Each structure stands twice: as C-alpha cells, then as structure tokens.
Amino acid sequence: MLKRLLSQLAVTLLWLLHFLPQPLLAAMGSGVGRLFFLLGAQRRHIAQTNLALCFPELDDTARKALVKAHFRVLGQSLFERSLLWWSRPARLNRLIRVDGEEKIRALLDAGQPVIMLAPHFVGLDAGGVALAMRFDALSIYSAQKNPVFDALLYRGRKRFRDQMLLSRQDGALATIKAMRAGRPFYYLPDMDFGRRDSIFVPFFGIQTATITGLSRLARAAKALVLFTITRRLPGNQGYVLEIGDPWPDFPSNDVEADTQRMNQMIEAQIRTMPEQYYWVHRRFKTRPEGEASLY
C-alpha cells in the first residue's frame, strides 16, 4: 500500500513538472542526473563498463566525463517526459521537430509496409510521441512491474491517434499483419533480450547477443527499413526526429549479415552523440557459452 501511495505521489509530482518551462525542466533534470551519478553505484558501474568496452581509446578522464554527461542528459530526458505525457500538441510540436515525415507518408500511400528502426537514445520517447501524433503506428510495449507506472506509460503511449501496442509474446504474425494494414512499426531491437531469437554479432567489436527480428520481419512483411534517430538538441532546443531513407538491398539472404549491418549502422549513429545512448542497460549481459560476465 505504501509503495503504491509513493508511486502515485511521484506521478503527481511529474504531472506538476509539465507546467514548468522546458529550460527549467532541463536544468532540474541535469541536477537530478548528477545525483543519479553519485548515488546510483550499480547503474554507474554498468555505464562505465559499457563505455570502457566500446571506447577503449578514451582515457579514464575522458570516459568519466562521458559517463557524467550521459547521466545529466538521462536526467533531463526523464524530467522532459512529463511534457510528453501531459503537454498539449501545440507545445509538443514546438519541442519536437520532425525531419523526413514525407518519406513515411509516401511509402504508406503506396501501400508499402515500413519498419522504423529506432535505437535506444534518451530521446526515444520524444520521437515516439512525435510519430504517434502523425500516424496510427505500431510498437512493442513491455509491461512494468509497478502497476502505477505501468498505467502511466501505457496511457502515454496510447495518448494520440490509434496506436497499437503489442507485447513480444504476441508474436511476429500480429506485427506483420499490422504493418501490412498500413501501420509504420516503431521498432527498438538494440537491447539484450537473452539468447532467445538472438545470435552473436559484433557491436563495437564485441560479440553481442542481438535479436534477428529486423531482417526476419522485413522479409516476411516485405517491409522497407528507415533509420529513425531522435536527438536531444544542444542549448535546450528540444528534440529532432530524423527519418532516413529506406535501406537499399535489405533484407539480404543472410540473416547474420543483416543483423551485423544493423549493429554497424547503430554504432555509427552512437558515435555522433555518444552521451545520448542508453548506457545504463547491460547490453553485453548475455555472453557466448563459457565466457565470463563482463559486469
């Protein structure tokens, strides 16, 4: 009971935050991010380990600065989620710019299924909201353990238009059917989901358990893949959702090569804004048989 009351209080505080100017939210979030860095020993260790693995060329000072920058932008994105969940569309349109919307519309108008590959940058939810304001889309939803936060996140994802949220347990057939019906698929495959449906391919030169869904779904639905990157802009200027061109020659006849290509493309984008990738996730948790944990 106490846990539920505390959760409801936290949601109320988040709701109050959305009335504040975005620069003030960003400043508060940056401060909380610094606090997370100091107090969150486990997540700090995960982020430091990930960055040591992925950026061995950085010295300890540079790597620590990058970890700190990541926690600051992570805190900012957390506070700015209050805007995504409760602000009016006019304010959200000022907060999130979309570049390349016409690419999706042209493909959908032609009856072409679309997969929007969306890596886990801190602006991921901002990009998802911008997409939901424009299209009846499809995405995968993972239920949260806390029922109060689960209800909040679910309502936030369903806030605009007619959004379809599937779980991983719903299977590929439901996803393919929705894409063929004209729903662009906002797809987030770059996390460690364990051994099921995964193969080991390089990511920053490290053999990494990676699900093969992008290649398999694109082939089954005859879908085109568009890279969809959400950047948090400097100087508290909000976010930009960048929609790329369809990938040529994808999928191929080699699922492993396709999956490695996906990781290479994500890695290239991470290098353009390394502080904004979700480093507090144990991306290298699942190891090949006989290999010790990296964490």
Render pLDDT for 41-78 as a digit per residue (tens, 0 to 9). Answer: 999 999 999 999 999 999 999 999 999 999 999 999 99
Mean pLDDT of the chain: 95
Q: Where are the domains of the chain?
A: 2-276
Determine whether 231 is exposed, middle or buried from the number of CB atoms within 10 Å of its CB (0-12, 13-18, 19+): buried
Tokens 């990494």 correspond to 208
Query: What stretch of H or E contains 233?
Result: none
Indicate whether 200 pLDDT > 80: yes
Give the residue-averaged pLDDT of 212-223. Answer: 97
pLDDT tens across 92-136, in order? 999 999 999 999 999 999 999 999 999 999 999 999 999 999 999
- The pLDDT of residue 167 is 85
- Higher-pLDDT residue of 290, 131: 131
Which range (106-115, 161-170, 212-221, 269-278) has the least confidence? 161-170
Confidence of residue 232 (pLDDT cuts 50, 70, 90): very high
Query: What pLDDT does residue 216 have?
Result: 97
Per CATH, the number for 2-276 is: 3.40.1130
> Which pLDDT belongs to residue 4?
83
pTM as predicted: 0.94
pLDDT digits (tens, 9 = 90+) for 133-191: 999 999 988 888 888 888 988 999 999 999 999 988 888 999 999 999 999 999 999 99
Q: What percent of the chain has pLDDT over 90?
A: 86
pLDDT-derived band at 22 (thresholds 50, 70, 90) equals very high
| Joined tokens for residue 198 | 């995964």
Model pLDDT, residue 169? 80
Q: In what order do the strands lie in the sheet with 114-117?
A: 96-99, 239-246, 224-232, 114-117, 185-187, 138-140, 164-166
DSSP class of residue 291 equals P
Distance CA 257, CA 81 (A): 36
Does 1 score more than 80 pLDDT?
Answer: no
